[in-house]
Structure 1
């Protein structure tokens, strides 16, 4: 099952058929969301289409349209939950096992079996072990070839213990674990804020869908009432015309001249009738209304999403974190893709697998 940042958002973004995060989500007339492929497979080889969630049956197969707003929310959610790459043991044979620890002193990565010596032999117990990582050289001081165990907050860089006694002696240095925990707490707060935003957007979509379905029912009732009123009006005119026709039949057989004159006078004016060729009941009123409402909903939600996710903050980019393919401006305010890998110093903070760069300043 796909990972999630919180139980509320996890439930909102999971297809109830495959139990995975939505892929090309579509909405049934009853307002429930599913993966387009999952719902199509569910309706294969069946004459009656129904909602897999609430079992509501539909008189005809609905025309499934991808809910673009929900799809964009899912895409933003997936970006927040990218998986980490696996690290394998350096001492396994052909069938390499997944590494659980990396030794900065050796330096090597070990699976559970090959890590046993580091946990048993007194000399190896003094080595510095960390969670398994791919690029061990990024965790070793390039000057003194010692494990990077401290973080210098003044220079915003990782240093070894010997560095804290040398050029970083007067700087504010803390253990890497302490700085990492602080950054993790800040990251979790930002992720939690994003989860709440996406959850609110999902609920807004479902609420609007419910309101649209209710409006569609009201529109349908209004169209049906219009048709009933027109039928009654037409039946009334037919009754009046039949009455006039009966009077004319009687007139053709009368010999009473006075009565004849009176009846001719009453029948001299044609009855007022509606031009029924111009009457039209718009059967597409629901479809047109829905299209307009969905367009307005999409604009509203896009505006909310862009406003909350694209707030501009004046920051200065940190060159020590920039991916080697990225080029920063001299003032650190702009970044572009250089298409060529730059020759930059190795740094624990630098992004190598993703085209990313962090700012020097923090902000809420």
Structure 2
């Protein structure tokens, strides 16, 4: 009984399906008769259409399909008028239905077999529904494009405003430094005046001492003359009497030592001016640097638009990160001649010493074997996964302003202060920023995840080869859009951007 009931159910299902097929085929024909495509002079009414031959036949021309075994696999249906209707490659039935769940066009056999239980509608209804959604999306995209165009225009207009504003600020700065120079000049004149006053006092002191010495010298010369006169006395009595009288008078033969005490202060002046000048220089440089740095940092933070993402929790699982997946491709105009682009510009291989005939371009890296993506990352959250192969493969982010032609280490993503990357070298895996290497305690990584939170100023590297694990994080204040950048230092190094979704 169970077998009989099952067979009946299958028969009912097949009959229902055949009825649906017949109805579907009837819907595709026009009210007027379908004519035989093989009749030459006066076409007769078609009896069947062959979905294999895509031709309709009258009773006479249909005979080969009914009697010849070569045509036994051809599928005959009631006459069809529209053979331009696309047919299912598997079942050879017209594609007139659309599976909303799988997003694919199907025939009735597909609907019964592979898409049973799915939400199905006619292609006309599906198109009408999708076109409505497409119109909404088109409106959103058009509005976004218009907003982007206005923003570009505003930025273009702001160029002149920025230049004039900077010129005004420079003028004020020049005024302040001019005043500072005037103050320094006044201070210099004041010091010179003090020194000139000291010079006058010292000269006056020297002049007074000189007059005193001249007077003393005259007295001593007079005493010498008296002594000479006394020594010339021939009479002993006269000599002794005059000598006795001469000794009664005070005779001072001492000469004061010469000392200009005003000169002693000159060394003190030198020390005072030197010390104060050094203090002022240090104060000026440190104060300007401190205040300007503070203004720059506060200006950068305040200029960032608020993001609704700031209130969202940080992603923790790989599925959380995948919500922020960004699809990127490498820019052929930046790719070094030793790097080969593959897989729709998502894969790079170092083919040294084989060079590729890329056209010359000002954006192309000439020394460091690097390439950056065509698309930039700006505002919000972004996540990409990359596969690394070979000792020397590095991946990270940098600003567009990175030097493309230089040979210095600052032209490499490991050596400047506006690039953040990680990769593998002879010592293992490391993270790099501004020429500083941070060795990572990890081995056997083939795929990494790079997560960028622009508003919070963080770029993080994760090991996604196995369970998700944070390898290293950098925090800073980003001031420009960022670009994914790779550096392949050795032959056969490979980096691939993975479509993680």
TM-score under structure 1 normalisation? Answer: 0.35
TM-score under structure 2 normalisation? Answer: 0.27
Name the structure with the higher strand share: 2
Between the two structures, name the one with larger relative contact order (CA 8 Å, sep ≥ 6): 1
